[in-house]
Amino acid sequence: MDDFTQPLDLTAPIPTGNTKAAAAAAGATSADLWMVPYDQLHYDPRDNIRPVDPEWVTHLTGLMLANGYDKSQPLHCYIRKVGGKDLIYVYKGQHRYLAAGNAIEAEKNLGKIPCVVLDAKKVNRADMVIDGYLSNESKRSSPLELAAVIAELRDIHGMTIAAICKRLNVTDQTVRDVGLLERAPAELHQMVRDGAVAGTLAIEQIREHGSDKALDRLQKGAAKAAAAGKARVTKKHLDAAPAPSTAADAAVEALAPAQAPTRTIAPSPAKISEKQAKQLLQALQAVLHDGGFGYLSRPTIEAVHSALMPLTDLLDGTPAGKVWSITEPNENGVCEPVEILHGPARAGKIKGPLAYIRIAQPAPGAWIYSIEYNTGTSFASDALKVSPQTLAVWTRVQAIRSGAARLIKTIERPGLGRTKSEQASFQRILAWANEICDMPDPDWTPEFATATTQGQRPDLTGVLASIEDKRRIASSRALLDSAFPTPSAKPGLHLAPAWPFPKGAAN
């Protein structure tokens, strides 16, 4: 750190000030920023120089579903006369406009959309085209910058990997990739910052060879690139044969044997072999996928999760997870739980948990949940059943988290917790539920994340049809029983007690 650099305290709160006072002191003036309902905005693809990129729209949709619309990024619009009406048309920000529409269709409330409207006197097609092109000249974050962002959110602000993935709209695989770069030597970081090597190439080399060997390969590749007059290392520089030695190098090599060593080299300490390291990683992975992993203490869960996330690709494969049974619902849609999570125990004379979360899998890959709490003075419970209104989720942990979120929402309703003992019980339930919400989900995949972003859920159509069939069969059976009742047995002498008949004396 030089004399001009000051340490930045990332945990210190940011002192906020008064907006109007700051604007007045700076001599600022207000401009025409309009907050417009989304359905009042119009869009003509001809006003944009670039064709729509569906993948980028999907990415922005995920960000808006997680974070809402960024009000600091207004759409740029102009007023067009159509059929005698003055309508607002978007000419810059088409991907944000389309993503906002997708998020609203997924029932996300974005509020009104900020828009900067171009003065009618300045509406000029050539200027709009130039403005659109210049706005597209933006710099994307590098993998190293993303790694720094994830590290700060995880280590400084205490966010879980799942929460980071949701807020940044990145996959677990992306987190693992940049995690490899995060733990690389500082020299490799500097090469990436200087533009000597691409972050993606650095990640690829670390995954194949490990951090230290990757650094050595990239440094040698940089030397080859410099000798070829190139400033950036590419894969062909890493795969190329070593450059022939020069006459000066040969002279140095000739003199080298004659030079006596000036110091003795201490033996290197014993290191864990590659095989042993892999066994340790596989053991940690088995812990991560164990059914009881969620019951460990939160620091242990975070330690295991953080250690394994960047290293998953180095293992032979994911161990087979536990196969959970399918609980077929009865004619009323009620399922038997495959797992019951018990909340904190009661403190009074009455024993038992304060709360329960029950989960079931009525169809493969479709999970449902129900909750219950009982403080002694307050009680709430719902049935673990499938109905047309049931919102199934993709994984077991997602069902547990959804149950915890439902429990939190139910308890935080106004009017609950009127006594001190009841408030204390609710606080214990909330602490337990909040801890469950941070459980890592080993079964979560990018495909599930994409489907959830698009508003998709597991299909329960077949389960509902099966319930209806069972209900119809039960109704028919009841109708037959009422039409043809089973005759009741009449009292009388039964032959069984008299068998075998007693034998008399021989005549």
Question: What is the share, in percent, of the chain residues with pLDDT greater than 70?
Answer: 71
- In which order are the strands placed within the sheet that holds 113-117? 33-36, 113-117, 75-82, 85-92, 41-43
Residue type, 390: T
pLDDT category of residue 19 using cuts at 50, 70 and 90: low
Q: What is the mean pLDDT of residues 52-73?
A: 86
pLDDT category of residue 291 using cuts at 50, 70 and 90: low
Query: Does residue 436 sit in the same domain as residue 363?
Result: yes
Candidate ranges 142-146, 160-164, 474-478; pick with highest mean pLDDT: 160-164
- Please measure the distance between the N-terminal and C-terminal CA atoms of the chain and give it in whole angstroms: 126
Predicted confidence (pLDDT) per residue in 432-458, tens digit: 888 888 778 888 887 888 888 788 889
Measured in degrees and rounded to the nearest 5, phi and psi for residue 33 equal -110, 120
Query: Does residue 345 sit in the same domain as residue 449?
Result: yes
Decide if 304 is inside a domain: yes
- In this prediction, residue 327 carries a pLDDT of 87
**DSSP characters over 276-330:** HHHHHHHHHHHHHTSTTGGGS-HHHHHHHHHHHGGGGGGSS-PPPPPPPPP----
Cα atoms found within 13 Å of the Cα of residue 247, Cβ hemisphere only: 0
- In this prediction, residue 259 carries a pLDDT of 40
- In this prediction, residue 478 carries a pLDDT of 76
189: Cβ contacts below 8 Å, ≥ 6 apart: 144, 181
- Yes or no: say if 342 and 353 are a contact pair by the CB < 8 Å rule: yes
Last residue of a domain, one of 78, 112, 135: 135
Burial state string for 67-98 with b = 16 or more CB within 10 A and e = fewer than 16: eebeeeebbbbbebeeeeeeebbbbbbbbbbb
Query: Does residue 70 sit in the same domain as residue 127?
Result: yes
pLDDT at 4 over 50: no
Last residue of a domain, one of 135, 166, 182: 135
Query: Does residue 306 sit in the same domain as residue 381?
Result: no
C-alpha span between 320 and 289 (Å, rounded):
8
pLDDT at 258 over 50: no
Decide if 131 is inside a domain: yes
Query: Does residue 382 sit in the same domain as residue 282?
Result: no
Query: Does residue 357 sit in the same domain as residue 448?
Result: yes
Query: Does residue 357 sit in the same domain as residue 440?
Result: yes
Decide if 52 is inside a domain: yes
C-alpha span between 280 and 273 (Å, rounded):
11
- In this prediction, residue 37 carries a pLDDT of 92
Cα atoms found within 13 Å of the Cα of residue 194, Cβ hemisphere only: 12
C-alpha span between 315 and 320 (Å, rounded):
13
- In this prediction, residue 266 carries a pLDDT of 44
- In this prediction, residue 370 carries a pLDDT of 92
pLDDT at 293 over 70: no
**CATH code, domain carrying 98:** 3.90.1530.10
- In this prediction, residue 444 carries a pLDDT of 82
- In this prediction, residue 453 carries a pLDDT of 78
Pick from 124-133, 217-226, 345-354, 365-374: least confident: 124-133
- In this prediction, residue 356 carries a pLDDT of 92
Residue type, 112: K
Predicted confidence (pLDDT) per residue in 101-142, tens digit: 999 988 888 999 999 888 777 677 666 666 665 665 555 667
Predicted confidence (pLDDT) per residue in 375-434, tens digit: 877 788 888 999 888 889 999 989 999 999 888 888 877 666 667 888 888 888 888 888
Query: Does residue 305 sit in the same domain as residue 395?
Result: no
Query: Does residue 394 sit in the same domain as residue 443?
Result: yes
For the chain, what is the radius of gyration of the CA atoms?
Answer: 34
- Decide which of 441 and 21 is more confident: 441
- In this prediction, residue 38 carries a pLDDT of 92
Decide if 57 is inside a domain: yes
pLDDT at 368 over 90: yes
Query: Does residue 348 sit in the same domain as residue 443?
Result: yes
Handedness of CA 426, 432, 435, 436 (dihedral sign): negative
Decide if 154 is inside a domain: no
Helices and strands: H and E segment counts in the chain: 18, 9
pLDDT category of residue 56 using cuts at 50, 70 and 90: confident
Candidate ranges 96-100, 290-294, 487-491, 498-502; pick with highest mean pLDDT: 96-100
Predicted confidence (pLDDT) per residue in 188-205, tens digit: 888 888 888 888 888 888
pLDDT category of residue 360 using cuts at 50, 70 and 90: very high
Candidate ranges 342-351, 366-375, 487-496; pick with highest mean pLDDT: 366-375
112: Cβ contacts below 8 Å, ≥ 6 apart: 35, 36, 37, 38
- In this prediction, residue 295 carries a pLDDT of 59
Decide if 126 is inside a domain: yes
Q: In the predicted model, what is the mean pLDDT of the chain?
A: 76
- In this prediction, residue 143 carries a pLDDT of 81
- In this prediction, residue 251 carries a pLDDT of 40
Last residue of a domain, one of 101, 117, 135: 135
Decide if 281 is inside a domain: yes
pLDDT at 358 over 70: yes
pLDDT category of residue 260 using cuts at 50, 70 and 90: very low
Decide if 194 is inside a domain: no
pLDDT category of residue 292 using cuts at 50, 70 and 90: low
pLDDT at 460 over 80: yes
- Residues of the domain holding 113: 30-135
- In this prediction, residue 20 carries a pLDDT of 64
How many structural domains comprise the chain? 3
Query: Does residue 310 sit in the same domain as residue 385?
Result: no
Alpha helices in 124-265 (DSSP H): 125-135, 143-155, 161-168, 172-182, 186-193, 199-209, 211-227, 235-239, 247-255
Query: Does residue 38 sit in the same domain as residue 85?
Result: yes
pLDDT at 357 over 90: yes
- In this prediction, residue 267 carries a pLDDT of 47
C-alpha span between 91 and 85 (Å, rounded):
18
